[in-house]
Amino acid sequence: MSESAVAQAATAAADPAAGDPLLQVDDLKVHFPVTEGLLKRQVGTIKAVDGVSFKLARGETFSLVGESGCGKSTTALAVLRMQTVTAGRILFEGVDVTHHSAARMRPIRRRMQMVYQDPFGSLNPRMKVSAIIGEPLVIHGLAGDREAHRARIRELMALVGLLPDMADRYPHEFSGGQRQRIGIARSLALDPSLLVCDEPVSALDVSIQAQVVNLMMDLQRRLGLTYLFIAHDLSVVRHISNRVAVMYLGRIVEIADRDVLFNAPKHPYTEALLAAVPVANPEIEANRAQQIIKGEVPSVRNPPSGCHFHPRCVHAMPRCRVESPALRPRDDGRLIACHLYD
C-alpha cells in the first residue's frame, strides 16, 4: 500500500459518521522553504504539516492539540485555503477544494469561517461593532436593504449575548470576553457550517473563558455547527470535544474519541502530554505518579529520523529510529502512529 492509501484506510476506520463527512483532509502537507542570504537560496524545508489525515462529522467538535509549533494553525489555515497546500487533498461538503481558484473559493468560504485567538487583533479598531459584525455580509454582497441588514446584525448580536445598545460602540470599549463574542458574531454572519477556532479562549481569564466555552457549545447545538477546535489547554479541549487528534512535529500521532483519549492515552507522547497537565485538585495531584517527560520538542527544521518522538520516548526501539510509524486503526476505534502497537 502506498503511504496515502494507508492514510486513507486509516481515516475511513476512524470515521465516526461514515459516508458523509463535512470536511475530509487526506495526507495534507504544508512545507515552507528555509532560505538564506540575499539571493534567498533554499537551504532546507520546514515540514510544518507532513501527511495529516482526518475527517469531521457534521455537528461534531474535533480538536487538534499539541505543543506550539506542531502545525495546528498551519493545518487550520490550509483547511480554509488561507495557506498554500504542498500536497494532499481537502474535501469540504463533498467537494475537492484543494486547487480551487480564489473566485471558486468565494462561495465556499462563506460556509467555513475562522475564529481567532486575539479578538482585538482581528477587529478593526476604527469600526463600530455593528459594522464589524455586518462586514462579511457587505463583502459578499448579501447585506440586502438597510433595514434587513440592521435586523440581521441585531439578530447576530443577540445570538452571542451582546446587548443591542452595544452596536454603536468601538472594540476598545469592550473586555476580552465581549470582544470574543463580537468576533464570533462576525464569523456567524454568513451562516457557515464549519467554524475553525484557533485558540479562541486562550487569551481569556478563566471566569470569562467559561462564558465563551458555554456560548460556543450552545451555538453549536442551536445552529448545528461543526468545529475544528485548537487549544493548548487540554482541560478545555476535553470539555468541548467529541474527538481529539494529537500532533507532534507536523504529524498526527493519535486520534480518538474524547473519553478514550483522556481516560487511556496510548501513544507515548499523548501519555506524556496528559501527565504534564496538572489537575485542579490537590488530592488527586498528591497521589499522581509524576513522570515528567524529558527534553524539549526538537526543531521542525531538523526533525529526528523515523518516529519524530523517538529521542524522548521511554519505549523507543531500534526500529523507531529508522521507520516512521503510520497512523493505523486499532480495535477500540482509535488511530495510533506507534510501532509499539503494530
Partner 1 sequence: MSEAIAASGAPALLRVENLSVRFRTDRGMVRAVDGVSLHVHAGETLAIVGESGSGKSVTALSLLRLIGDNGEIEQGRILFDGVDLGRLSGAEMRKVRGNRIAMIFQEPMSSLNPVLTIGKQVAEPLVLHQGLSWQAARKRAVELLARVSIPDPVDRLDSYPHHFSGGMRQRVMIAMALACDPKLIIADEPTTALDVTVQAQILALLKALTRETGAAQILITHDLGVVARYADRVAVMYGGRVIESASARELYANPKHPYTQGLMASVPSLDSDPGRPLQTIPGQPPDLANLPPGCAFAPRCAYARDLCRQGKPPLESIGPQHERACYGYE
Residues lying near partner 1 in the complex (CB under 8 A) are found at 67-68, 175, 177-178, 205-211, 213-214, 217-218, 232, 234-236, 238-240, 258-259, 262, 272-285, 290, 292-294, 296-297
Minimum CB separation of residue 218 from partner 1 in Å reads: 8
Contact window for Mg ion (CB under 5 A) among 45-53, 72-80, 274-282, 334-342 = 72-80
Within 41-145, residue ranges assigned H as helices are 72-79, 102-109, 129-139
The single residue among 53, 73, 113, 242 that binds Mg ion, judged by CB under 5 A, is 73
Buried b (16+ CB within 10 A) or exposed e, 218-243: ebbeeeebbbbbbbebbebbbebbbb
What is the footprint of ligand ADP within residues 17-56 (CB under 6 A)? Answer: 32, 46, 48
- Name the residue type at position 176: G
Distance CA 305, CA 30 (A): 19
Q: Which three cell numbers stand for residue 323?
A: 521507520
Q: How far apart are CA 55 and CA 77, in angstroms?
A: 16
Give the end-to-end CA distance of the chain in Å, rounded to a whole number: 16
CA trace torsion 288, 294, 300, 301 (10° rounding)? 180
3-state secondary structure at position 64 = strand
Under the binding rule (CB under 6 A), the answer on residue 65 touching ligand ADP is no
Nearer to ligand ADP, 213 or 231 (CB): 231
Q: Three-class SS of residue 288? A: coil
Give the shortest CB-45-to-ligand ADP separation in angstroms. 10
CB atoms closer than 10 angstroms to residue 115:
24
Of residues 306, 311, 293, 312, the one with CA closest to residue 337: 306
Choose the contact partner of 48 out of Mg ion, ligand ADP, partner 1, none; CB within 5 to 8 A by kind: ligand ADP
In whole angstroms, what is the distance from residue 237 CA to residue 201 CA? 11
Residue 234 Cβ vs ligand ADP, minimum distance, rounded to whole Å: 14
In whole angstroms, the minimum distance from the beta carbon of 68 to Mg ion comes to: 7
In the bound state with partner 1, the residue whose beta carbon lies nearer, of 274 and 326, is 274
Can you tell me whether residue 77 is helix, strand or coil?
A: helix
Nearer to ligand ADP, 31 or 239 (CB): 31
Interface mask toward ligand ADP for 224-243; x: CB under 6 A: --------------------
CB 54 within 8 A of CB 11: yes
Nearest distance, CB of residue 236 and partner 1, angstroms = 6
The helix/strand/coil state of 133 is: helix
Q: In whole angstroms, what separates CA 275 from the centre of its chain?
A: 22
- Judged by beta carbon, residue 66 or residue 303, the one nearer Mg ion is 66
Which is nearer to ligand ADP, 161 or 176 (by Cβ)?
A: 176
300 binds ligand ADP (CB under 6 A): yes
Q: Which does 297 bind (CB under 5 to 8 A by kind): partner 1, Mg ion, ligand ADP, none?
A: partner 1
Residues that bind ligand ADP (CB under 6 A): 32, 46, 48, 66, 68-74, 300
Which residues are near Mg ion by CB under 5 A? 73
